[in-house]
Amino acid sequence: MNPNFYVVLAAILFAIGIVGFLIRKNALVVFMSVELMLNASNLLLVTFSRVHGNLDGQAASFFVMVVAAAEVVVGLSIIVMIYRARQSANVDNENLLRY
């Protein structure tokens, strides 16, 4: 299997993640788009691990998963905290830093 296909697939998923991050207003879906981008980069790491014939890429992918898990825990608790204070998960409403 030509690694080029995997690179294109990862790039497509990453681009969809970018678009989702930009156009969605719900903080949860924005966060899911970030997860999609992390997954796309993981796919690239695994692919390049196979291209170069060593396991360092897979180890890096493992670290990305660990960091993503920690990030999700903190990020979701921040979203819940903001929702408690503002009764909204809409990213357009969080504008306190503007003023």
Partner 1 sequence: MTALLVPLVTGAAVAFWICGPIMVAAAVAMVLSRKAVYSALYLALVMVNLAIIYASQDAPFLFVVQIIVYTGAVMMLFLFVVMLIGVDTRGTLVEKVKGHTPASVIAGIGGFILLAIAIGRGLVGPAIGVEAANQKYGGNVQGLAALLFGQYVLAFEATSALLITAAVGAMVLANVERLTPKFDQTARAKARIEEYATKGVHPGPRPSSGVYARHNSITSPALLPDGSVSPDSVSAVLVQRSGLSDAVALAAPAKEAFAALDVAQGEDEEIL
Closest CA to 30 of 77, 83, 89: 89
Of 87 and 96, which CB lies nearer to partner 1 in the complex structure? Answer: 87
Give the nearest distance from C-beta 23 to partner 1 in angstroms: 5
Residues numbered 41 to 60 that lie near partner 1 (CB under 8 A) are 42-44, 46-56, 58-59
Residue 34 in the binding site for partner 1 (CB under 8 A): no
CA dihedral 68, 71, 73, 76 (to 10 degrees): -120
**Sign of the CA dihedral running 52, 53, 58, 59:** negative
90 pairs with which residues across the strands?
A: 26
> Which of 4, 96, 97, 99 is in the footprint of partner 1 by CB under 8 A?
4
**Residues 62, 49 contacting (CB under 8 angstroms):** no
Give the nearest distance from C-beta 99 to partner 1 in angstroms: 16
Residue type at position 13: L
Residues numbered 59 to 98 that lie near partner 1 (CB under 8 A) are 59, 61-63, 65-74, 76-81, 83-84, 87-90, 92
> Which of 29, 94, 97, 98 is in the footprint of partner 1 by CB under 8 A?
29
